[in-house]
């Protein structure tokens, strides 16, 4: 189930509005840091796809296979090699440190055995491929091609 939410591609506010049908129209809170929605899941295979949620972070955190700041790190380092980005994700280089409580929770999750060993170490090649795909999406957004 953890790969389900890695399939969320970043987008612009305009492209979110285009994706929503007239019957599903609601105000989507947009996160400029990651280019993802804050209150709706846009993972096509998720049962909550394009449905309004109170908090997307909680929706994703309910799944015990979350890597904190994954998309944010890729966006911030989109011009770098995938291996460097992978290492920055493993170290938590771009965790949100503005809120101490959130920073501590993200750090604990990132340092957990499940994330470090079961995900990042065992599935390194998979994540490198995901990083390469995400990098291209962020480059497209940056170049206004989406």
pTM over 0.85: no
Alpha-carbon gap, residue 91 to 86, rounded angstroms? 9
Q: How many domains would you assign to the chain?
A: 1
Q: List pLDDT tens digits, range 68-89.
A: 888 899 999 999 999 999 999 9
Alpha-carbon gap, residue 55 to 91, rounded angstroms? 26
Which pLDDT value is given to residue 129?
Answer: 93
Which pLDDT value is given to residue 44?
Answer: 82
pLDDT, averaged across the chain: 82
Q: How confident is the model at residue 29 (pLDDT cuts 50, 70, 90)?
A: confident
Q: At what angle do helices 82-91 and 124-142 cross, to 10 degrees?
A: 110
**Between 29 and 63, whose confidence is greater?**
29
**Between 87 and 96, whose confidence is greater?**
87
* Domain extent at residue 101: 2-142
Q: Quick one: DSSP state of residue 69?
A: T
Q: List pLDDT tens digits, range 105-139.
A: 888 878 887 787 777 888 899 899 999 999 999 99
- Average pLDDT on 79-108 reads 90
- Residue 41 DSSP SS3: strand
- Average pLDDT on 89-105 reads 88
Which pLDDT value is given to residue 1?
Answer: 36
**Between 109 and 101, whose confidence is greater?**
101
- Average pLDDT on 19-24 reads 64
- Residue 49 DSSP SS3: strand
Alpha-carbon gap, residue 125 to 129, rounded angstroms? 6
């Amino acid at each position: 189930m953890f790969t389900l939410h890695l399939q969320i591609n970043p987008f612009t506010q305009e492209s979110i509005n285009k994706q929503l049908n007239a019957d599903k129209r609601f105000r989507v809170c947009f996160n400029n840091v990651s280019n993802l929605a804050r209150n709706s899941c846009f993972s096509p295979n998720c049962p909550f796809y394009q449905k309004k949620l109170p908090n997307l972070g909680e929706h994703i955190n309910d799944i015990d296979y979350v890597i904190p700041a994954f998309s944010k790190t890729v966006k911030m380092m989109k011009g770098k090699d995938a291996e460097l980005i992978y290492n920055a994700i493993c170290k938590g280089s771009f965790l949100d440190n503005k809120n101490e409580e959130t920073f501590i929770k993200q750090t604990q999750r990132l340092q957990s055995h499940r994330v470090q060993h079961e995900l990042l170490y065992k599935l390194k090649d998979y994540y490198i491929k995901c990083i390469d795909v995400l990098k291209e999406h962020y480059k497209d957004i940056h170049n206004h091609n989406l």
